[in-house]
């Protein structure tokens, strides 16, 4: 399966260590728990979430007199699944949109290099493939390269792009995009924004202006504020997520580049600590390498 392949590095270097940590042991003792803790931390689950998981397992293990390592595996799966938040979908594998929200407006936030442009291209492609009419707005006007790259992707997936020249007002681009979407009976609007975290006040002002201006056309826009994080940066991604949630409301996250990394555990930590659902995961550079996150499939894949 695609997902198994995408997560293979995390599986090999980390989650298979889990099995090794418990192999040959007939019961769950402190030694097993210590090893488990170490494996979770080295997989970038993060210290707080790891401690939470260990604590819960300790409770469950001491309740039962004797727990085999096979059962430990099952308990671990359950606890990890319980910590993950996914978005609610009628059907996880369809790209259906909520009713009464047309156009459905997705505002993209995240720092440069995390895979914003690629994820926008993939999203546009997926929605289009599922019969939706899509438009993209290049409201990251800070870098010319951002607009150019987005244009390449929009051509590749054959979806219109609204842009202005570099340095123009991002809110004006966003306005043009939603106005055009409304006129043309578009289903999905994807708005790119510049993620300059180092200037948080500017970032906050820029994002709130974009929102305000879009709301003149679509009063409940944006319907989704999607934070893109690079999973391969592990704890850095976690720090970015914390910073962004301080600067703006985030309704969902997309975690990219999980295919090239052993740090897939970051999905668990970020989801638990920020209480923001993971909605999409990126598992490759190609247009089809984006999936709607399904926590059961994710955990199954890690432990398979």
Q: Please tell me whether 117 is known to bind a ligand.
A: yes
Q: Please tell me whether 294 is known to bind a ligand.
A: no
Closest to ligand GDP by CB, 21 or 147: 147
CB 114, min distance to ligand GDP, A = 5
Question: Which residue in this structure is represented by tokens 């319907």?
Answer: 223
Closest to ligand GDP by CB, 132 or 257: 257
Q: Please tell me whether 114 is known to bind a ligand.
A: yes
- Measured at CB, which residue is nearest to ligand GDP? 282
Q: Please tell me whether 159 is known to bind a ligand.
A: no
List interacting residues with ligand GDP (CB under 6 A): 112-118, 149, 256-257, 259-260, 282-285, 289
Question: Which residue in this structure is represented by tokens 């003149």?
Answer: 216
Closest to ligand GDP by CB, 186 or 232: 232
CB 285, min distance to ligand GDP, A = 4
CB 22, min distance to ligand GDP, A = 31
CB 150, min distance to ligand GDP, A = 8
**Comparing C-alpha atoms, which of 99, 96, 106 is closest to residue 214?**
106
Annotated binding site for GTP: 110-117, 192-196, 256-259
Annotated binding site: 110-117, 192-196, 256-259
């Amino acid at each position: 399966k695609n997902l198994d392949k995408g997560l293979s590095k995390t599986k090999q270097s980390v989650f298979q260590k889990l099995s090794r940590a418990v192999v040959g042991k007939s019961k769950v003792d402190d030694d097993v728990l210590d090893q488990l803790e170490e494996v979770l931390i080295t997989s970038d689950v993060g210290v707080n979430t790891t401690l939470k998981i260990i604590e819960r397992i300790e409770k469950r293990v001491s309740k039962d007199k004797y727990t085999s390592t096979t059962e430990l595996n099952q308990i671990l799966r359950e606890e990890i699944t319980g910590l993950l938040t996914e978005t609610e979908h009628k059907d996880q594998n369809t790209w259906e949109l909520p009713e009464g929200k047309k156009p459905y407006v997705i505002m993209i936030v995240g720092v440069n290099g995390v895979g914003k442009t690629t994820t926008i291209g993939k999203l546009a492609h997926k929605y289009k493939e599922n019969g939706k009419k899509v438009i993209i707005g290049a409201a990251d006007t800070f870098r010319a390269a951002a607009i150019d790259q987005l244009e390449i992707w929009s051509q590749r997936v054959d979806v219109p792009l609204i842009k202005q020249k570099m340095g123009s007002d991002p809110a004006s681009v966003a306005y043009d995009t939603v106005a055009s979407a409304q006129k043309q009976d578009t289903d999905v609007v994807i708005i790119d924004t510049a993620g300059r975290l180092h200037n948080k006040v500017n970032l906050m002002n820029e994002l709130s202006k974009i929102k305000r201006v879009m709301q003149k056309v679509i009063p409940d826009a944006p319907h989704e504020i999607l934070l893109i994080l690079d999973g391969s940066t592990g704890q850095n991604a976690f720090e970015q997520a914390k910073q962004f949630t301080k600067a703006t409301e985030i309704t969902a996250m997309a975690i990219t580049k999980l295919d090239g990394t052993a740090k897939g555990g970051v999905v668990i930590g970020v989801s638990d600590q920020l209480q923001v659902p993971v909605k999409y995961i990126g598992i490759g550079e190609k247009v089809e390498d984006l999936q709607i996150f399904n926590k059961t499939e994710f955990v199954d894949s890690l432990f398979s």
